[in-house]
Structure 1
């Protein structure tokens, strides 16, 4: 790590300085050298973390507050093998675990990592983009979850639990968080007793505003800003000791300018081919006069766009959880939920202030889910039997629009087509208009629209049992049978000033070689005084209609295709077997075999006609061994896991040089080792450490994306290309994109008391290894390792029951890429990427009552 770690000496110096602080130090907040007893619900029942044969990281609500974790993107640095990132908009955020995630913008995708909030499955991971406010706990389960969780997932699951209503007289807080970039977040929560011991209510909410860290010089606005708010109302009804009903209703909304992509590699001039110029050279000249940037400008956080990116969304729902305890053996849990999610996004598709392309995405989702679980418990066995149903309607409208400069841009960029158009115009003049002239190559202000309406039904039966074979050994077995049905109706069209649809039959598309032959026949016939043949006229006919150049653009978002009516049906049997052995109270050894399943489905995007709109399920098989160990006399806890996973029919997005297409890529092998440790070094000093080594590689991927930028700049072709004409390249053996092979995090916390004020100082050091910004392994898309240091000073005023926290994230202002980048369509050799956030700092005041 050290070769890529210029920050490491400074980070270690800061950590050591805080670890050795001793200003009249004594233990605060209780006995800090005592290991915390952590209860998790990783197996749908409360259990001690150290007794669960699952690799799981749990963080309490207090831990989230103390670490100033404002959203899930802050959370990722504290969990081994977990990543969270967003791409074109906040609507398209994603999670990955152990190298497996979902990075596409396509709404037809489901997630490789399931998200559950208060027991309810969230079909869009962006639903958690709202700040983590009034949270009781967050649990991240690593590895396939193919038994107990609602929507079977191939990589893992995240469960988020809100603070429930309380029957205590006072139970709430108010908080003000302020920071640089005009950040201001107001949040609060309170419980109210309506009927003593019978009915309680809790209200929580927040409002967050901030300017962004990327400047758009064209509009004068900042990108990646914050403008979001949410409210949650809960009721807890407990008429008896054996029955409780919890109802949760929430509403959140967001309206932000996100997300800013910056130039990682320009194409002004090829790096290795003298005299070769790209679209940047064209766009910087008249009539476009675009403001362009290079790699040298990347960390100046500046761009210039003709259209500011817009992300709007509302997320709302209501759920009811009914718990019934029949006796000491049997109990029942029922969770019913309705959710609605609406999003609207606009992006500047050419990523410049030239008026070329914009894309608009308007999506609406409504879902209902019902889960019923019966719990059985005896001295020798604990079991769960359940049924799960999920139904969802998805309605998507997506438009790509060519702006006013596009016709001029394409006419210059496609100059090799102009002689053919000139020849047709010449014939038209020679025949006094009897032969029509060539049409406009690519008229501006043309809208390429498509809509997709999808209905989905998912049904599952599941069971899991813990068999206590003796006082030290427990065998866990589980099975889940899942049925998936999806139907989609897709409609595609084009509308412009002189266009009312393009030919969908590829036999009617413009063909240069046929047209040249036709022109020759027409010329020969006219010279002989004969009438041209119908076949010769038919050969040039496609070039006489406006918009014929769009066929040569080739981008999937504009290629015409037939309307789509498709159905996907599937069923899968998944499950798990685990063996846990506890030789002592403080040691557990376990091994597990598990399978997981990510549903296949139907593609909601306009993709290349050569691809099937239906894709198959993604399936995972995993083996894991682990040890969970405590040395209580030393205040040390250490959990270690080694894993191996095979993913078949991995769902990926392929870029064919002009557009993105979703498909089943092939197989992936993932292997790795993870460490999660806590050590109370002294009564007042705590150390937390996590690390992961993850090797995720494509075992087979025959139709992968080829290198685009590297080949354009150097002339060296992708070694995975079988023939020069092949638009795809084999990615067999290559690394899976977006994921580092090495990551680590170290946190040192020093507790102290000064006069009547208790407090602590905490410093994080976080290392993330190098990544490829997509699945191509293009050498130009390798982003180097980076390190981040965060620091916090917390002061607790007992008389006021209040906390004052001074905090800084990315203290040393490390420059890094947020794991994701892409080739710009129709601008070969140009790469855009999303920058990580620079240093931020502020203060938080939190009053409990």
Structure 2
């Protein structure tokens, strides 16, 4: 742990997971267990905050959630830059981009699953709340949530009043963002609609080291609509639809060293060291400018029927997404990566209570079908089409043994069929392959409330990530990976609700880990082996997280979060690029070991109708190792990892009530202008490759929001 955290902070953080800024006595209602509950009554490690909290912290993007959430990290994925995100919760990394395999962190928008991490480095707007659930969530959320799940809930229609807001932001690098949201009751207390649009633009903050072209700009269009129909007290249906378009020039790559391949008659450059002293000068080699483009359409409907003693809920969703990026990390090849996929999902859930409300129960089923193509135009690699069909049955039930002690048991069975086909222009080897997988997920937890304001809990849960078919060698089928997680936690609201303290500690047994590794049998004339996907390793993960929120006086609040994850392989036999056997036992899995954040906010009246708020947030994250020691040995110090960094953000905002709700905010991000990297690639091929992705520089802005 870094020394600058301080011994006193360490002592208080034996699980200390701090809340983002909340108003005193604020009750946060979450749906972490698929029913509405007070956050402090849920025996699960959950970080939750409102859209208002997110905005007051000066944050705008999905990836910014990690700055408020311990043991949660969001980074650009390798060579693809910001088009595809890599999520890590408690050492469990979301992992695979392609359709032939699945990720370890679940994402849900309004209850609908988002199976691929496309376009997550995008602005969030008109958000009601965000929930990050940590640890396996296999019982209620299904496969591929071994690390946890992220739930984003957008604001729905209000049936009793016309309203909305307009917002405009101007900032550094000619940033011009605009949002317009309108809430319209169509039939009072029965039918309403909420419509929103957001557009973002920001010039790039970097340039190509060889071309001088602008890099890392931001251009997005987001359209959203939500319809709510409540014809009676016993039935409601909410339909959400959105469209999102991204057209940018991708992230800034800096090559820390040059690398090439000697073909005998020609030296093929693989990477060119970026010697320009400007930190924001990056790789850009081609006549065609690098780009990242995506568009996606989502629609989902949630219908709830009160049956009198039980409630039936249906969630139906459809998602279509297209993405394509021209990567600038290598000068010698035309590298385009992308995906075109469709996902349909249906969940039915029946829930209720019995035995004088001592028993609360849920039973349900889930079905999904996903199909599409992965575009991988890197000379010699395959382009594949995939189809994934799955279904599951689940139940979760809580029984109050006494007024203070509750037992929860959950079980889920999942069955999945997967097909992958080679659709490359020049097909070699096996044309297609099929595989079927099934597994059980389960949960057992016991919680105890010694008082109305405190909760203690212990749980054991099992989750799994589905099996896969190797995209580059379709004959290879890998089994599912499993996580058995043990957790204890404590939640408390103390001193007349002026202090909130939540903490949890966990221990996870991680088996049959799916990893891409070199295949020594594939070394050809170039001396470069190909990679294979396999069940390569076992690991142990343990750690803790904590959240503390203190409101010492009206209008004044302080918070802190800390997360620690120790994730190491128990057994991992691998190969290096030359085909030599490697023992990677006791190596870290990857992902940061430490994270912490500090925040403070002070609000005070400057007149009878105006309130001034001053807020500061500091976020620090430790080193992230990119490669195995055998790779790092080939590279120079610092080239095989992303160094730790800390970011300071701040905001001053003025609320003016007498003008019908006007808010003016001046904000800054990365105020100390820290130069840092957010991700990268490290390989020992071709004498060593070290490409890293540049983080954003200091930016200032002013945001004006007018309610109507």
Q: TM-score, normalised by structure 1?
A: 0.75
Tell me the equivalent position of 2:60: 70
Distance 2:194 2:53 in 1: 21
**By percentage of residues, which structure has more helix?**
1
Distance 1:323 1:397 in 2: 39
Tell me the equivalent position of 1:311: 292
Counterparts of 1:394-793 in structure 2, within 5 Å, are 394-401=372-379, 448=380, 450-494=382-426, 561-604=428-471, 606=472, 612-633=475-496, 635-654=498-517, 659-703=530-574, 706=576, 726-737=579-590, 739-756=591-608, 757-775=610-628, 778=632, 780-793=639-652
**1:218–1:783 Cα change, 3 Å:** closer
Structure 1 residue 659 displacement after superposition: 4.8
Match of 1:165 among 157, 167, 181: 157
Q: Does the 8 Å CA contact 2:96/2:103 hold for their aligned counterparts?
A: no
Counterparts of 1:175-186 in structure 2, within 5 Å, are 175-186=167-178
**1:304–1:290 Cα change, 3 Å:** farther
Match of 1:48 among 25, 38, 63: 38
Distance 2:293 2:350 in 1: 40
Distance 2:271 2:463 in 1: 48
Matched, 1:235 2:227: yes
Distance 2:622 2:82 in 1: 25
Distance 1:339 1:250 in 2: 10
Q: Does the 8 Å CA contact 1:262/1:298 hold for their aligned counterparts?
A: no
**1:734–1:210 Cα change, 3 Å:** same
Q: Unaligned stretches of 5+ in structure 2?
A: 7-20, 520-527, 634-638
Distance 2:393 2:467 in 1: 19
Distance 2:530 2:662 in 1: 54
Matched, 1:830 2:689: yes
Distance 2:443 2:268 in 1: 60
Q: Deviations over 1:46-87 (max 9, x none)?
A: 111111000000011111221222111222111010011112
Q: Does the 8 Å CA contact 1:458/1:485 hold for their aligned counterparts?
A: yes
Matched, 1:251 2:227: no
SS in 1 for 2:655: strand
Structure 1 residue 213 displacement after superposition: 2.2
Counterparts of 1:120-139 in structure 2, within 5 Å, are 120-139=112-131
Q: Deviations over 1:795-828 (max 9, x none)?
A: 1111121111111111101122214333285x32
Q: Does the 8 Å CA contact 2:462/2:485 hold for their aligned counterparts?
A: yes
**1:107–1:81 Cα change, 3 Å:** same
Tell me the equivalent position of 1:216: 208
Structure 1 residue 231 displacement after superposition: 0.6
**1:638–1:182 Cα change, 3 Å:** same
**By percentage of residues, which structure has more strand?**
2
Q: Does the 8 Å CA contact 2:132/2:148 hold for their aligned counterparts?
A: yes
Q: Does the 8 Å CA contact 1:259/1:309 hold for their aligned counterparts?
A: no
Distance 1:346 1:300 in 2: 19
Q: Deviations over 1:199-219 (max 9, x none)?
A: 111111211111222211444
Tell me the equivalent position of 1:340: 320
Counterparts of 1:116-155 in structure 2, within 5 Å, are 116-155=108-147
**1:175–1:662 Cα change, 3 Å:** farther
SS in 1 for 2:66: helix
Q: Does the 8 Å CA contact 2:253/2:282 hold for their aligned counterparts?
A: no
Q: Does the 8 Å CA contact 1:121/1:151 hold for their aligned counterparts?
A: no
**1:4–1:288 Cα change, 3 Å:** farther
Q: Does the 8 Å CA contact 1:280/1:292 hold for their aligned counterparts?
A: no
Q: Does the 8 Å CA contact 1:130/1:229 hold for their aligned counterparts?
A: no
Q: Deviations over 1:244-270 (max 9, x none)?
A: 111112111111111322123x14xxx
**1:614–1:91 Cα change, 3 Å:** farther
Distance 1:142 1:291 in 2: 38
Q: Deviations over 1:506-542 (max 9, x none)?
A: xxxxxxxxxxxxxxxxxxxxxxxxxxxxxxxxxxxxx
Structure 1 residue 107 displacement after superposition: 3.5
What number of residue pairs does the alignment pair up? 672
Matched, 1:57 2:50: no
Distance 2:692 2:275 in 1: 10
Distance 1:333 1:363 in 2: 32
**1:813–1:280 Cα change, 3 Å:** farther
Matched, 1:816 2:663: no
**Aligned Cα RMSD in Å?**
2.6
Distance 1:291 1:118 in 2: 42
Q: TM-score, normalised by structure 2?
A: 0.90
Distance 2:210 2:681 in 1: 23
Distance 2:392 2:58 in 1: 38
Tell me the equivalent position of 1:445: none
Match of 2:192 among 200, 209, 213: 200
Tell me the equivalent position of 1:442: none
**1:658–1:227 Cα change, 3 Å:** farther
Distance 2:138 2:197 in 1: 34
Structure 1 residue 167 displacement after superposition: 1.1
**1:700–1:796 Cα change, 3 Å:** same
SS in 1 for 2:674: coil
SS in 2 for 1:64: helix
Matched, 1:380 2:243: no
Q: Deviations over 1:457-478 (max 9, x none)?
A: 1100000001011100000000
Structure 1 residue 281 displacement after superposition: 11
Distance 1:492 1:33 in 2: 56
Q: Deviations over 1:387-409 (max 9, x none)?
A: 000111122233235xxxxxxxx
Q: Deviations over 1:2-25 (max 9, x none)?
A: 5578xx9xxxxxxxxxxxxxxxxx
Distance 1:282 1:686 in 2: 63
Tell me the equivalent position of 1:431: none
**1:654–1:481 Cα change, 3 Å:** same
**1:814–1:349 Cα change, 3 Å:** closer
Q: Unaligned stretches of 5+ in structure 1?
A: 9-30, 268-277, 402-447, 495-559, 709-724
Tell me the equivalent position of 1:409: none
Distance 2:105 2:240 in 1: 23
Q: Does the 8 Å CA contact 1:368/1:392 hold for their aligned counterparts?
A: yes
Tell me the equivalent position of 2:105: 113
Distance 1:145 1:295 in 2: 46
Distance 1:755 1:740 in 2: 45
Structure 1 residue 288 displacement after superposition: 9.1
Q: Does the 8 Å CA contact 1:640/1:673 hold for their aligned counterparts?
A: yes
Structure 1 residue 308 displacement after superposition: 3.0
Q: Deviations over 1:725-755 (max 9, x none)?
A: 6345221100112x12111100011112223
Q: Deviations over 1:69-117 (max 9, x none)?
A: 2111222111010011112144421211001112444342311110000
Structure 1 residue 309 displacement after superposition: 2.4
